[in-house]
């Protein structure tokens, strides 16, 4: 149990900017499996903030913009930075040069465009979703990180070193899926009980989340024939944005 708390603390420290008690011992060895639960905490926090702002009668568009900004801030822009670098890599036609471009600290035009599109998609989708926002936010943040876990478990890592290499090296197969499954069960309960919604919405959340998580990770695998830390970030960001867009159909 002690090791579980240490790993979960390591996941919070790695994936977010949330402050932790200085006495909390951190273990970063197998933090990838805890990513969906970190997403559960993140989505719940954003949803409660949204609930408070709605109670104060802040307009939907304004609070949506605040929440997207806070969303980026709480994660330290970790995944958005990966999505930007990945877009710069995809702009290069030569596959052998893509990793070199992605490792460059300078941001290119395609990266700026991709980052802008992601932020706009989240902002516009949230502004169209005036109801059930807490469970929808939780759905996006949990499934976005579950997509990363699926990619880690399924696809090879392209580099021997890098900020995402230890995820693949320390991943232990099906045993590392149970925290994500717990997060998905909690997400379904959110969808059903806060506020009570129809079973159709729960089914929609499961189908849209799972299909987008699998589809986005597979698309990026086809482009790179493997994964990097930046690609993991891109998978999280695009899955989150597309899930929010899919909920506008309901």
What are the Cα distances from residue 154, in Å, to 5, 90, 110, 216, 218? 26, 21, 27, 13, 9
Residue matched to tokens 């059930």: 132
Which residue, among 16, 38, 23, 19, has the nearest Cα to 179 in the 3D structure? 38
Nearest Cα to Cα of residue 212 among 229, 235, 190: 235
Q: Is the confidence at residue 169, as pLDDT, over 80?
A: no
**Residue 241 pLDDT > 60, yes or no?**
yes
Looking at residue 85, what is its pLDDT? 93
Q: Which one of 27-41, 49-63, 163-177 scores highest in mean pLDDT?
A: 49-63
pLDDT of residue 97: 85
CB 166 within 8 A of CB 28: yes
The first and second tokens of residue 183, run together, are 């997060």
Q: Is the pLDDT of residue 157 over 80?
A: yes
Q: Residue 161 — pLDDT band, cuts 50, 70, 90?
A: low
pLDDT given for residue 30 in this prediction? 81
Alpha-carbon gap, residue 183 to 42, rounded angstroms:
12
Q: In 3D, which of 215, 204, 207, 221 has the Cα closest to residue 238?
A: 215
Is the confidence at residue 198, as pLDDT, over 70?
A: no
Residues 6 or more apart from 144 whose CB is under 8 A from it?
39, 79, 213, 235, 236, 237, 239, 240, 243
Q: What is the tens place of the pLDDT at every residue in 105-148? A: 788 889 999 999 999 999 999 999 988 899 999 999 999 999 99
3-state secondary structure of 196: strand
Q: Is pLDDT of 163 > 70?
A: no
| Pair of tokens at residue 141 | 């943040």
Is the whole model's pTM more than 0.85, yes or no? Answer: yes
- Which residue bears the tokens 């024939």? 225
Domain ranges of the chain: 33-247
Higher-confidence residue of 217 and 92: namely 217
Model confidence at 162, pLDDT cuts 50, 70, 90, reads: low
Q: What is the mean pLDDT of the chain?
A: 87
* 15 has pLDDT over 80: yes
Mean pLDDT of 90-95: 84
């Amino acid at each position: 149990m002690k090791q579980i708390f240490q790993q979960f603390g390591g996941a919070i420290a790695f994936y977010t900017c949330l402050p932790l008690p200085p006495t909390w011992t951190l273990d970063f060895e197998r933090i990838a499996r805890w990513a969906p639960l970190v997403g559960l905490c993140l989505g719940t926090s954003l949803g409660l903030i949204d609930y408070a702002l709605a109670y104060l009668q802040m307009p939907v568009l304004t609070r949506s913009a605040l929440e997207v900004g806070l969303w980026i801030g709480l994660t330290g822009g970790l995944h958005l930075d990966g999505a930007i670098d990945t877009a710069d890599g995809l702009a290069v036609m030569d596959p052998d040069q893509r990793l070199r471009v992605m490792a460059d600290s300078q941001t290119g035009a395609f990266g700026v465009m991709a980052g802008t599109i992601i932020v706009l998609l989240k902002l516009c989708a949230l502004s169209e979703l005036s109801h059930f926002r807490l469970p929808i936010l939780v759905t996006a943040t949990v499934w976005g990180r579950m997509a990363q876990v699926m990619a880690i478990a399924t696809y090879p890592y392209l580099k021997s070193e890098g900020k995402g290499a230890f995820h693949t090296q320390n991943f232990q197969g099906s045993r590392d899926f149970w925290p994500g499954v717990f997060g998905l069960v909690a997400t379904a309960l959110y969808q059903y009980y806060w506020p009570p919604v129809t079973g159709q919405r729960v089914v929609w959340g499961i189908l849209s989340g799972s299909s987008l998580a699998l589809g986005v990770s597979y698309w990026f695998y086809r482009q790179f024939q493997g994964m990097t830390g930046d690609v993991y970030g891109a998978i999280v960001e695009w899955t989150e944005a597309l899930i929010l867009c899919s909920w506008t159909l309901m």
